A and B are shown apart, each in its own frame.
Chain A
């Protein structure tokens, strides 16, 4: 009987994680990012200082990082440039978010994929930009680095149009 219990417990651990990696969707971290997205869509960034580590490194399509304040300022500028901003899954619904616990030095990462959509306030042009964002969590449950992967060319066109009007 003791042997059987030992095998049972061992099998649970071995069977649980063939690579030690666990992927979740409706977990606390994935939901925290969903809530942050809801805040962003409402142009509210009260979540940032709770969710982000004070020394967060934010990589906006760049190996050089910006800090929390610069990131929030950039996000807020979207609402100055665009109306009707949305973030959705290509097949409908909200952004697709999953959290991966590598259970090693790689740590815990949440990954999001979505189509960012907005209508330029100057040009009236609606743009749709496929985006991927990777978020790394620390042991305190805060995000320490993010990486955005998306094409900024459509957004830059609206920035240029807005600057031309302002001049």
Chain B
């Protein structure tokens, strides 16, 4: 009987997670990021930035980080230039639009890494320049790494800046004329 109980407990641990990695969708971190993205869409940058640590490192398509205050200025600029900012994501073309695919992952400590808790988002950013009328749809991937105080300590953003830069420059030029 003792042997069976031992096998039972052992199999629970072995069977639970071959890699020890846990992925969740409806957890606190995932839902916080969904709210964070909605605050951004709504232009409520104060609420959006409230989950970002003051000393956060934010990597926007770069290995050099910028500060939370730099990012705040970027998001405020985006809302001053673009109307109808939204995020969109659907499983298949024409499918149900859930705004963004958001999932959280807990990685256990490994031989070469500390344990990590990250939330990831995939979505298409949409917006229309209020001065030129140009519309943009840009696929975006964001990785949020959490610290022990339940704040976002590091952000990695991946997207193509070419079209956005062109529209922003044209919009700024149009408004300065």
Contacts and interface: CB of A to CB of B under 8 A. Distances in A.
Contacts of B124: 63
A95 to B, nearest CB: 14
A151 B16 contact: no
Q: Chain B contact residues: over half helix, strand or loop, or mixed?
A: mixed
B138 A61 contact: yes
B23 A21 contact: yes
Contact of A100 (B23, B62, B137): B23
A11 B12 contact: yes
A130 B160 contact: no
Contacts of B19: 22-25
A147 B4 CA distance: 47
Interface string A119-163: 000000000111110100000000000010111110010000000
Q: Give the size category of A's interface with B.
A: 35 or more
Contacts, number: 90
A19 B158 CA distance: 27
B91 A105 contact: yes
A115 B18 CA distance: 28
A16 interface: yes
Interface of A: 4, 7-8, 11-12, 15-16, 18-19, 21-25, 59, 61-63, 90, 98, 100, 105-106, 115, 128-132, 134, 147, 149-153, 156
Interface of B: 4, 7-8, 11-12, 15-19, 21-25, 59, 61-63, 91, 105, 122, 124, 137-141, 156, 158-162, 165
